[in-house]
Amino acid sequence: MKSRPGYILFFILVLLITGREVRSQEISYINIPDLDKLLKAPENKLYVVNFWATWCAPCIAELPGFQKISKEYDPEKVSFIMVSLDFPGQVQKQLVPFLKKNMITLDVRVMTDLDYNAWIEKVDPSWQGNIPATLFFNNSRKTRFFHAGEIDESGLRKFIDTCLN
C-alpha cells in the first residue's frame, strides 16, 4: 500500500494541535526588579495584576471570574497578570497541576522574592499583605486603583470599565 503525503501531513498536523492542547500552562517568574518594571509600564494599557495563591480559598473562588472576564477585553487594552505567591519550589507539584485542572490560561507569574515586606508597599502603601489583592493601573493615563480582598465578576468588570473610561 502506498502512503499518501496528504494523509501523513494531516496526521502530523493533528498530533501537533493535540499536543499543544495537552501541554501544561507556561509559568514565568517575577522578582522585585521585574515587579518594579511592570509597575512602571509606560504603555497606554490597563494592567490588572492579581496577587493570589493556590492555598487561598478566596483566591481560588475569584479565579474563574478573572479567566472569564479576561476573554471579554481586547488584550491590547487590558492585560491580566496573575502573580502567584505559591512557593517557587511548589510550582511543578502544585501550581501547574492546579492551573491545568482548572483550565486557567491567564498570564501566571510566580513571585520569587518571598520577603513580602520588601515589595508589597511598591504595589500599594496601604496593602497589609492579605490576599487576594488586585492592582488596576494605567500609568499613561495616571489611573491607579488597589483592591484588597476577593472580587466577584461584576465587581471586577466594574473596576475595569471604570479604569478604562
Residue 7 in domain:
no
Residue 11 in domain:
no
CATH value at residue 90? 3.40.30.10
Residue 18 in domain:
no
Provide the pLDDT for residue 1.
Answer: 47
Buried b (16+ CB within 10 A) or exposed e, 3-14: eeeeeeeeeeee
Residue 143 in domain:
yes
Residue 77 in domain:
yes
CB-based contacts of 133: which residues, under 8 Å, 6+ apart? 50, 51, 123, 124, 127, 146, 147, 148, 149
Residue corresponding to grid cell 493556590:
54
Residue 46 in domain:
yes
Q: In the sheet that 27-30 helps form, which strands lie side by side, from edge to edge?
A: 27-30, 107-111, 78-84, 46-52, 133-138, 143-148
pLDDT per residue as tens, the chain (165 positions): 454 555 444 444 444 444 434 344 678 999 999 999 999 999 999 999 999 999 999 999 999 999 999 999 999 999 999 999 999 888 999 999 999 999 999 999 999 998 989 999 999 999 999 999 999 999 999 999 999 999 999 999 999 999 998
Provide the pLDDT for residue 88.
Answer: 87
Provide the pLDDT for residue 26.
Answer: 77
Residue 92 in domain:
yes
Residue 12 in domain:
no
DSSP secondary structure code for residue 150 in this structure? -
Provide the number of structural domains found in the chain: 1
State the residue range of the domain holding 126: 25-164
Query: In whole angstroms, what is the distance from residue 45 CA to residue 78 CA?
Result: 6
